[in-house]
Amino acid sequence: MRFEPVGGEALLRDWRHVHNVIIPTDPLSPDEVRDRAGRNRLVVAYLGDVLVGCSTVRPPAAHPPAGGRAAATVIARVLAAHRGQGIGGALYAHGLATARGLGAEVIETVVLASNPDGLRFALAHGFVEVETYLLPGDTVPYVDLRLA
């Protein structure tokens, strides 16, 4: 498996494709992905030359709230045809190492409630649900989880 940090239009396009397939309720435009790439660590995963997934690491805030611990969000996405092969675990481990390297003390993730594979994966990797919410105009809620 090969992990490519997003840079350049081809990698932005591949990351966007995986995101939009897995989160069809919140499709991102190329400009929105460029913006995210400026704030977050985006990675695309390939098996050989085949696109299989992507990840996002939202770094911890430079100054956590008073008394708070530095929290990062790690999201691993695997295209359905490539699930059950260890790709999600490898993407998650890569993202977790990145988050820890950025100083994260708390690890969070977010999964679309309509993605039972993603929810099972998060729970199997030690995450616990902390909040479910619906964004304005959406019909499918998001589930926030925190690593126990």
CATH number for the domain including 32? 3.40.630.30
Chain segment 85-137, per-residue pLDDT in tens:
999 999 999 999 999 999 999 999 999 999 999 999 999 999 999 999 998 88
User: Which of the four pLDDT bands, split at 50, 70 and 90, describes residue 65?
Assistant: low
Tell me the HSE value of 97 on the side-chain side, using a 13 A CA sphere.
Answer: 7
Reply yes or no on whether the pLDDT at 80 is more than 80. Answer: yes
Identify which of 63, 62, 67, 142 has the alpha carbon closest to the alpha carbon of residue 108: 142
Rg, C-alpha atoms of the chain: 15
According to the model, what pLDDT value does residue 67 have? Answer: 65
Residue 89 lies in domain: 2-147
According to the model, what pLDDT value does residue 68 have? Answer: 78
Reply yes or no on whether the pLDDT at 147 is more than 90. Answer: yes
Domain total of the chain = 1
DSSP state of 137: T
According to the model, what pLDDT value does residue 125 have? Answer: 95
Q: What is the DSSP string of 45-99?
A: EEETTEEEEEEEEEPPPSSPSTTPPPEEEEEEEE-GGGTTSSHHHHHHHHHHHHH
